[in-house]
């Protein structure tokens, strides 16, 4: 079974249902760099005082106890031409971050299609308020530094997986005001993403209804959602969010397939394996990259 809904877009590039190639394990880091989100002593909200924990399972990396949130920028090109960028929010139930599968591997894929990937290391565990502050600060820093980093300030998107999908959706629906006090001139930049991609997003539903943090959102950017029917815990939330996008006349694509489950990142042998190609095609309709 496949369900493909498109709203508010004039065209769609369809790609053959071939399996997506395995992500390149050796992400080029020659030009990558880190940037701390908050000046010393200026980070709002709560944070953990425990040391960061990095767990490795083979090539997979998972991070917990994040007390120093930052972004890592992986430029797509060294040329002076301004290109698109996407801030990537890994998932992990707001307990930890699936940093490689839903972070650096995604940045490598974005680089291959000509987009700068920016991986967000946001505060965990169990710190939704801090995580949301971190994403708001991240998009403002990227926009404020866009031309220096060879990024088009009108082509800055957000992308999230699972809990990171909730985070990206929350910013897309609540970009009209920040939840923290102004820190510096970077905070004059707009919070609104230019586009949003949600891959098996979590926590969009509460008590059978769209979660309240989304119900009053205005002027949402174009949204792409990849979801499967057998992601039993979270599929309803994606359907409710898509219905909200439809009701608010927000341009969007809802890729709803039968199989894939949850937590597959870029790789799956189920029907959802086509999502990266479909997402790339959707981005092209927005003239991204």
Neighbours of 176 (CB within 10 A): 11
Judge whether 118 lies within some domain: yes
Partner residues linked to 61 by β-bridges: 56
pLDDT at residue 78 in the model: 62
Residue 131 lies in a domain: yes
Supply the range of the domain harboring residue 145.
2-9+21-37+45-285
Distance of CA 188 to the CA centre of its chain: 22
CA-CA distances (angstroms) from residue 171 to 48, 73, 89, 210? Answer: 23, 20, 11, 15
In a domain, 14, yes or no: no
Domain membership flag for residue 16 = no
At 56, give phi and psi (nearest 5°): -115, 130
Compute CA 133 distance to the chain's CA centroid, rounded to the nearest angstrom: 15
CATH of the domain at 194: 3.40.50.1820
The answer to whether residue 207 is domain-embedded is yes
| The two three-digit tokens of residue 105, written as one number | 């591997």
Query: To 5 degrees, how large is the angle CA 123–CA 128–CA 133?
Result: 65
* Rounded Cα–Cα distance for residues 94 and 195 (Å): 23
Residue 250 lies in a domain: yes
Tell me if 26 is assigned to some domain.
yes
Q: What is the helix, strand, coil percentage profile of the chain, to 5?
A: 25, 25, 50
- Domains in the chain: how many in total? 1
Q: Going residue by residue through the chain (289 aa), what tens digit of pLDDT does each one get? A: 445 554 443 332 222 222 223 334 344 557 899 999 999 999 999 988 889 999 998 889 999 999 899 999 999 976 668 999 999 999 999 999 999 999 999 999 999 999 999 999 999 999 999 999 999 999 999 999 999 999 999 999 999 999 999 999 999 999 999 999 999 999 999 999 999 999 999 999 999 999 999 988 889 999 999 999 999 999 999 999 999 999 999 999 999 999 999 999 999 999 999 999 999 999 999 999 8
- Which residues make Cβ contacts (< 8 Å) with residue 57, sequence separation at least 6? none
Residue 15 belongs to some domain of the structure? no
pLDDT of residue 4: 56
DSSP-assigned beta bridge partners for residue 121: 70
């Amino acid at each position: 079974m496949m369900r493909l809904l498109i709203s508010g877009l004039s065209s769609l590039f369809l790609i053959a249902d071939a399996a997506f190639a395995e992500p390149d394990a050796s992400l080029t880091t020659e030009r990558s760099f880190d940037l701390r989100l908050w000046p010393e002593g200026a980070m709002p909200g709560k944070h953990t005082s425990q040391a960061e924990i990095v767990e490795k399972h083979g090539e997979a990396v998972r991070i917990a106890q994040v007390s120093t949130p930052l972004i890592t920028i992986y430029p797509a090109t060294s040329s002076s031409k301004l290109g698109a960028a996407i801030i990537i929010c890994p998932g992990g139930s707001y307990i930890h971050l699936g940093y490689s599968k839903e972070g650096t591997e995604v940045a490598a894929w974005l680089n291959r299609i000509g987009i700068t990937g920016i991986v967000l290391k946001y505060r965990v565990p169990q710190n939704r308020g801090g995580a949301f502050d971190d994403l708001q600060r991240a998009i403002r820093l990227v926009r404020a530094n866009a031309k220096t980093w060879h990024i088009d300030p009108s082509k800055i998107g957000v992308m999230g997986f699972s809990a990171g999908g909730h985070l990206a959706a929350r910013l897309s629906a609540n970009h009209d005001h920040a939840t923290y006090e102004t820190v510096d001139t970077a905070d004059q930049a707009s919070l609104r993403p230019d586009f949003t991609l949600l891959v098996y997003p979590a926590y969009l539903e509460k008590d059978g209804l769209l979660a309240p943090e989304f119900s009053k959102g205005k002027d949402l950017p174009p949204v792409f959602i990849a979801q499967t029917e057998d992601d039993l815990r979270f599929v309803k939330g994606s359907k409710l969010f898509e219905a909200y996008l439809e009701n608010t006349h927000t341009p969007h694509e809802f890729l709803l397939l039968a199989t894939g489950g949850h937590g597959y990142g870029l790789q799956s042998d189920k029907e959802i394996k086509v999502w990266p190609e479909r997402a790339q095609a959707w981005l092209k309709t927005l003239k991204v990259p």
